[in-house]
Amino acid sequence: MNEKIIREYLDYLKYQKNYSNYTVNSYKNDILEFFDYLSSEGLNYKNIEYSDIRFYLVFLNEKKKDTNNSISRKLSSLRGFYKYLANQNIIKTNVFSLVKGPKKSKKLPRYFEYNELEELFNVSDKRSPLGQRNALIIELLYATGVRIGELVNIKIKDIDLNRRCILILGKGNKERYVTYGEYCQEALNLYLNDGYKNLSLQKNEYLLLNNRGGQLTERGVRFILDEVIKKTSIKKKISPHMIRHSFATHLLNEGCDLLTVQKLLGHESIKATQIYTHVTTERLKEVYYNSFPRAKIDKK
């Protein structure tokens, strides 16, 4: 019974809420971990009380040594799950709605510097179909700031080559257009006219394909990026979201306003975009101290 309700909830997240596979798997792991805890304590998920949740938080904090951010994420997953249970009349009340998580530590988004991105752009062998595809992945992620789930679901028909824009299906099935520049256009044209034709043996409708001609998955993109960065001198761990962070940070550094960045990223709320202002503030301070003549005392 437990497995059935969890599976139904995950299907709800995937097909009705349009969550990415990565997000759905995160929810799954959080819920399964909670059910394991309930089993070890002899508790039924339908009858838990507020005090049971508090003891679970103590378990996460003291036994598992989870960070505040990790605990907050797990609470959010379980709060959503129990809201679903309440809406389905499986439980009477959502006790998780009464629980506040620990304060999240403010963690600034990690991003690549301009020179690091240039190194990433130049790694792939553009003479091969897979090399052309890999180069396009990095160009698209940086040029548009799309999420990985949005990236792998781009179809050929979504691309307007004349206007240099792409129709993106974002979170909650919300559509938006993203634009791209000349460097990305060059990578896209090369791939479409060469690499894509070699990979798309069955005329696949998706833009990014694997070596068998099927749609490239999110996991496939992460693997490709891991392999790409190994060929560079960069010592940072790479992820699609880190390139998205770079897109937003560099726009703000160059004077783009926050509302425009919000729309380009597909954020519903400006709050989600405001974290990047902390990064750019640090950048402004760096420029100020290096450029303003009376910022530092000359000790010579």
Active-site residue set:
147, 171, 241, 244, 267, 276
Q: Name the DSSP class of 237.
A: P
* Contacts for 49 with CB less than 8 Å, ≥ 6 apart: 95
User: Whole-angstrom Cα distance, residue 253 to residue 276?
Assistant: 10
Residue type at position 45: Y
User: Whole-angstrom Cα distance, residue 122 to residue 187?
Assistant: 11
Q: Could you tell me where the beta strands, DSSP code E, fall in 18-93?
A: none
* Count of CB atoms situated within 10 Å of the CB of 276: 24
Q: Helix (H, G, I), strand (E, B), or coil: what is residue 298?
A: coil
* CB hemisphere CA count around 225 (13 angstroms): 24
Contact 245, 110 (CB under 8 A): yes
Place of tokens 């896209």: 188
Task: Convert 181-197 to b/e letters by CB count within 10 Å (16 or more is b).
Answer: eeebeebbebbbeebbe
Closest to 152 in 3D by CA, of 140, 163, 164: 140
User: Whole-angstrom Cα distance, residue 27 to residue 14?
Assistant: 11
